[in-house]
C-alpha cells in the first residue's frame, strides 16, 4: 500500500508542477484537462493517505495546490455564469445549469446535505445563509429549487462581481428571484444579522488554509444564534489535496453532530455542527428541532443502501 500511496502522491505532484506553470487558470482545453486529471487522481478513498502526516515539502505543495484549485474554480464559475447570464431574454438561465461541468456533483451534494440536515433538525429552516456563494451559487440554487421551496437564501460573497453574475443568474426566475438575496462582504465583516439564520453554510473555498478557516468559524461562532446549525465542507483522504480539512478541533463553541465522507464522485466531505447554548430541542427563534441523543463515544455507521452503499458517516456525542 505504501508504494501505491507514493505513486499516487507522485502523480499529484507531477500534475501540480504542470498546473503551477500555467500562465492562466481560466477555462481552456489544457486547464480543463489538467484539473480533470487532478480530480480523478484524488477521487479514490480506498487509501490510508493522511496529508497531515506528509513531508513539509508535500504539505507546502498541497497548500499551494488548494489555492490554485480555488482560483480555477472561481474562474470556471465566472465563465459559465457569464454564458448563462447572456442567454436570450426569453430563456431562464436556471433551465440550462447542466452546461456547468460539475452540475451533477452539486445536485448530489445538495441532496446529501439536505438529507443530513434533515436528520439533525425537525423544522424546515426559514432562512439559510450561504457564505462564499460565488458567481454560480449552485448549492443555494439546488437546495431552493429541489429541497427547500419555502426557504430564503442569503448569499454572502466578498466579490461584488461574483454577486452581480449570481444575481443575474436568478433574476429571470419567478420563484428564486424572490428567495435568493445577495450580500457583498467579507464574512469576517458580517456581524449583525448572522443570528437570524437557522442554518449557515461555509463554502469549502472560504478559508483556504487551516488558520483562515478557523478564523471564519470562530467569527461565525461569535455571531450565529445559539442552537443554529453550521454546515461546512471538508475533505478526506486524497481529496484533501484539493480542499482544506475541517476537523473537530476547529469547532470550538459548536457541538459536532456528523462528519460525512462520500466515496462516490461528490468530492467534498460534509461536516454538520450545532452552535452551543441553544436547547438541543429548539432551533433559532424557538422552533423545535429533534433531540440528538448524546452518547459517550463516537459511532461510525456505514449506511448500506443503494444510494450510499459505500458511504461513511460518523455521529458524535455531546462533549461530556
Ligand X SMILES: C[S@@+](CC[C@H](N)C(=O)[O-])C[C@H]1O[C@@H](n2cnc3c(N)ncnc32)[C@H](O)[C@@H]1O
Task: Find the DSSP H helices in the chain.
Answer: 2-20, 29-42, 56-85, 103-120, 138-146, 160-170, 176-179, 210-223
139 C-beta neighbours (distance < 10 Å), count: 23
**According to the binding rule CB under 6 A, does residue 203 interact with ligand X?**
yes
Instruction: Specify the pairing of strand 229-234 against strand 269-275.
Output: antiparallel
**Choice between 197 and 292, CB closer to ligand X:** 197
Work out which of 61, 128, 136, 217 binds ligand X, going by CB under 6 A. 136
CA-nearest of 98, 102, 52 to 72 is 102
Residue 42 CA to residue 208 CA, distance in Å, equals 18
Beta carbon nearer to ligand X, 164 or 318: 164
Torsion, Cα of 148, 216, 186, 283 (10° steps): 30
Asked if residue 259 lies in contact with residue 229, where contact means CB atoms within 8 angstroms, the answer is no
Per CB under 6 A, does 246 bind ligand X? no
Stretch that binds ligand X, among 81-89, 136-144, 171-179, 238-246 (CB under 6 A): 136-144
The CA R_g of the chain, rounded to the nearest whole Å, is 19
Is 245 a binder of ligand X (CB under 6 A)?
Answer: no
Which 110-129 positions form the footprint of ligand X (CB under 6 A)?
none
Residue pair 288/305 in contact (Cβ under 8 Å)? The answer is no
CB of 4 to ligand X, least distance (A): 32
Cell 428564486 belongs to 176
- Residue 239 CB, shortest distance to ligand X, in Å, is 15
Decide: is 74 part of the binding site for ligand X (CB under 6 A): yes
Which of 12, 38, 157, 316: binder of ligand X (CB under 6 A)?
157
Cα 39–41–46 angle (5° rounding)? 115
Contact status: 244 vs ligand X (CB under 6 A): no
- Residue 280 cell numbers, joined: 438541543
The verdict on 314 binding ligand X (CB under 6 A) reads no
Residue 77 touching ligand X (CB under 6 A): yes
Q: Does 186 bind ligand X (CB under 6 A)?
A: yes
Least Cβ distance, residue 75 to ligand X (angstroms): 9
CB of 300 to ligand X, least distance (A): 26
What is the C-alpha to C-alpha distance for residues 42 and 11, in angstroms, rounded to an integer?
10
The answer to whether 278 contacts ligand X (rule: CB under 6 A) is no
Comparing CB distances to ligand X, the nearer of 42 and 76 is 76
Nearer to ligand X, 134 or 278 (CB): 134
Q: Does 156 bind ligand X (CB under 6 A)?
A: yes
Q: Which stretch binds ligand X (CB under 6 A): 44-52, 86-94, 184-192, 273-281?
A: 184-192
Least distance to ligand X, CB of residue 38, Å: 17
Cell numbers at 109, concatenated: 451534494
Sheet holding 299-302, edge to edge: 180-184, 152-157, 127-131, 199-202, 229-234, 269-275, 254-261, 312-315, 299-302
Q: Residues in the site for ligand X, rule: CB under 6 A?
A: 73-74, 77, 131-134, 136-139, 156-159, 162, 186-188, 203, 205-206
Amino acid at each position: 500500500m505504501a508504494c501505491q500511496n507514493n505513486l499516487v502522491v507522485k502523480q499529484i505532484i507531477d500534475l501540480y508542477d504542470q498546473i503551477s506553470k500555467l500562465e492562466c487558470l481560466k477555462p481552456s482545453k489544457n486547464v480543463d484537462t489538467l484539473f480533470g486529471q487532478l480530480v480523478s487522481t484524488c477521487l479514490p478513498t480506498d487509501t490510508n493517505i493522511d496529508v497531515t502526516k506528509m513531508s513539509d515539502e508535500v504539505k507546502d505543495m498541497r497548500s499551494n495546490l488548494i489555492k490554485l484549485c480555488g482560483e480555477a474554480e472561481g474562474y470556471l464559475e465566472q465563465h459559465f455564469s457569464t454564458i448563462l447570464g447572456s442567454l436570450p431574454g426569453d430563456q431562464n438561465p436556471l433551465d440550462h445549469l447542466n452546461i456547468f461541468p460539475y452540475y451533477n456533483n452539486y445536485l448530489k451534494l445538495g441532496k446529501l446535505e439536505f438529507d443530513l440536515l434533515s436528520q439533525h433538525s425537525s423544522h424546515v429552516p426559514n432562512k439559510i445563509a450561504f457564505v462564499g456563494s460565488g458567481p454560480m451559487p449552485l448549492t443555494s440554487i439546488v437546495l431552493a429549487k429541489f429541497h427547500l421551496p419555502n426557504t430564503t437564501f442569503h448569499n454572502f460573497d466578498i466579490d461584488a462581481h461574483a454577486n452581480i453574475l449570481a444575481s443575474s443568474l436568478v433574476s429571470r426566475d419567478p420563484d428564486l428571484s424572490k428567495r435568493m438575496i445577495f450580500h457583498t462582504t467579507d464574512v469576517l465583516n458580517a456581524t449583525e444579522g448572522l443570528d437570524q439564520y437557522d442554518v449557515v453554510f461555509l463554502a469549502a473555498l472560504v478559508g483556504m488554509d487551516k488558520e483562515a478557516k478557523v478564523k471564519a468559524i470562530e467569527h461565525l461562532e461569535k455571531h450565529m444564534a445559539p442552537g443554529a446549525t453550521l454546515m461546512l465542507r471538508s475533505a478526506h483522504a486524497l481529496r484533501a489535496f484539493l480542499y482544506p480539512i475541517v476537523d473537530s478541533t476547529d469547532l470550538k463553541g459548536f457541538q459536532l453532530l456528523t462528519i460525512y465522507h462520500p466515496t462516490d464522485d461528490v468530492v467534498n466531505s460534509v461536516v454538520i455542527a450545532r452552535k452551543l447554548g441553544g436547547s438541543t430541542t429548539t432551533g433559532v427563534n424557538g422552533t423545535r428541532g429533534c433531540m440528538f441523543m448524546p452518547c459517550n463515544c463516537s459511532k461510525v455507521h456505514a449506511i448500506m443502501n443503494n444510494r450510499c452503499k459505500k458511504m461513511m458517516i460518523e455521529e458524535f456525542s455531546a462533549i461530556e
